Homo-oligomer: A and B are copies of this chain.
Amino acid sequence: MNADKIPDIIIGRLPVYLRALQQLSEKGMLTTSSQELGEIIGISAAQIRKDISQFGEFGKQGTGYSIPFLIERLRDILKVDRGWEVVIVGMGDVGHALAHYQGFANRGFHVNMVFDNDPQKIGQKVGDFEILDAAMLTEKIKQNKIKIAMLAVPATSAQEVADQLIKGGVKAILNYAPISLNVPHGVRVQYIDPVTHLQRMTYYLD
């Protein structure tokens, strides 16, 4: 099957496969098996074989998968071989944590600018970044052709800021505000809300 036609549910698992493969690679390993990957990730080996077979023939019976080859293919499919420029909006605790996070660069992302609307914060430094005025958000995003934003503003202003991001040309939003965003067709949103993740586990607790 063509990489353009991979079902969304499988696309959702590929970054997790990629992360596990990169962990193995950092340990110096060159080959792995669906069993080994499955144990690391907590998915059945059969599911992994099925998912990987969606985008080509990898590994042969008995020899397993080539880790560098599979990493390269996954990076290509997920388009993270190119280095995406990203902005962060909202310099509260979460925004600070994201601005300081060292794990973006080696996985395909580069923080380009950070924004806040608080006059006390604008012009201050967070790590290497000077906090820019959120009033310039749409303009700066257009100028710099940014397609991806991380949204770490309060729930009450998240929709308004999302609208400005989209007006500037952003097509993918990682939303940390605990509300569902209303976005036009063609714009993707992923949600990071610790409470929804906690709530989907409590169902299984006694």
Taking Cβ atoms with an 8 Å cutoff, the residues of A that contact B are: 6, 11-12, 14-16, 18-20, 23, 39-42, 77-80, 84, 86, 92-94, 96-98, 100-101, 103-104, 107-109, 147-148, 150, 171-172, 174, 178-180, 182-183, 188-205
Q: How far is the CA of A87 from the CA of B78 in the complex (A)?
A: 35
- Closest chain B residue to A195, Cβ basis: B107
Q: List 19 A-B contacts (CB under 8 A).
A: A14-B199, A19-B193, A23-B180, A41-B180, A78-B202, A78-B203, A79-B202, A84-B198, A93-B96, A98-B194, A148-B202, A171-B205, A172-B198, A172-B205, A174-B194, A190-B197, A190-B201, A192-B192, A192-B197
Provide the residues of chain B in CB contact with A190, threshold 8 Å: 197-198, 200-201
